[in-house]
Amino acid sequence: MSVDTTGGGRLDTLKWVIVAVLVAVGVIGNSYYADQSLLYRVLALVGLAFVAGYIALQTAKGAAFWSLVRGSRTEIRKVVWPTRQETVQTTMIVVIFVLLVALMLWGLDSLLGWLVSLVIG
C-alpha cells in the first residue's frame, strides 16, 4: 500500500483543525468539570483521544505515521536479543568497571587532597 506523503488530501487541514478542537475541548472540559468524578473525566478524555487519533490517522501524515509504526514493528521482530547469560555478563562487566573507576577517582581525590593540605599547611 503506497501512501502519498507529499501533498495530502484537500480536507487534511480541516481534519487537523478538528483534531486540535477536540484536544482543546478535552483540556478545557477537564478543567471545567474538575468537581466531577475523576473516572468520568478520564473516560471522556480517553474517548476524545481515540476520536482525535482516528481522525488524525485519516490524513496523509497520519497514514504515513501509521505506515512507519507498522514498519517499525516488523523491524523490531528482526532484532536478535541477548540471552540472559549475556545480559548478566555484560552487566557485571559494567558494574566492575564503574567500581574500578570509582576507586581510582577516590584515590586520586585523596592524593590531591593530601598534597593540597601539605602545601597550604
- Give the chain's mean pLDDT: 91
Across the range 6-10, mean pLDDT stands at: 63
User: Which of 62, 77, 92 represents a domain boundary (last residue)?
Assistant: 77
7 lies in a domain?
A: no
> Is the CA virtual torsion 63, 69, 73, 79 positive or negative?
positive
pLDDT single digits (tens) 57-96: 999 999 999 999 999 999 999 999 999 999 999 999 999 9
Across the range 36-52, mean pLDDT stands at: 94
Q: What cell does 95 get? A: 558494574
Same domain, 88 and 73: no
Tell me the whole-structure pTM to 2 decimals: 0.56
Same domain, 90 and 105: yes
Same domain, 34 and 64: yes
Same domain, 87 and 71: no
User: Which of 77, 95, 111 represents a domain boundary (last residue)?
Assistant: 77
Same domain, 69 and 95: no
Element (H, E) at 106: helix 84-120
pLDDT at 7 over 60: no
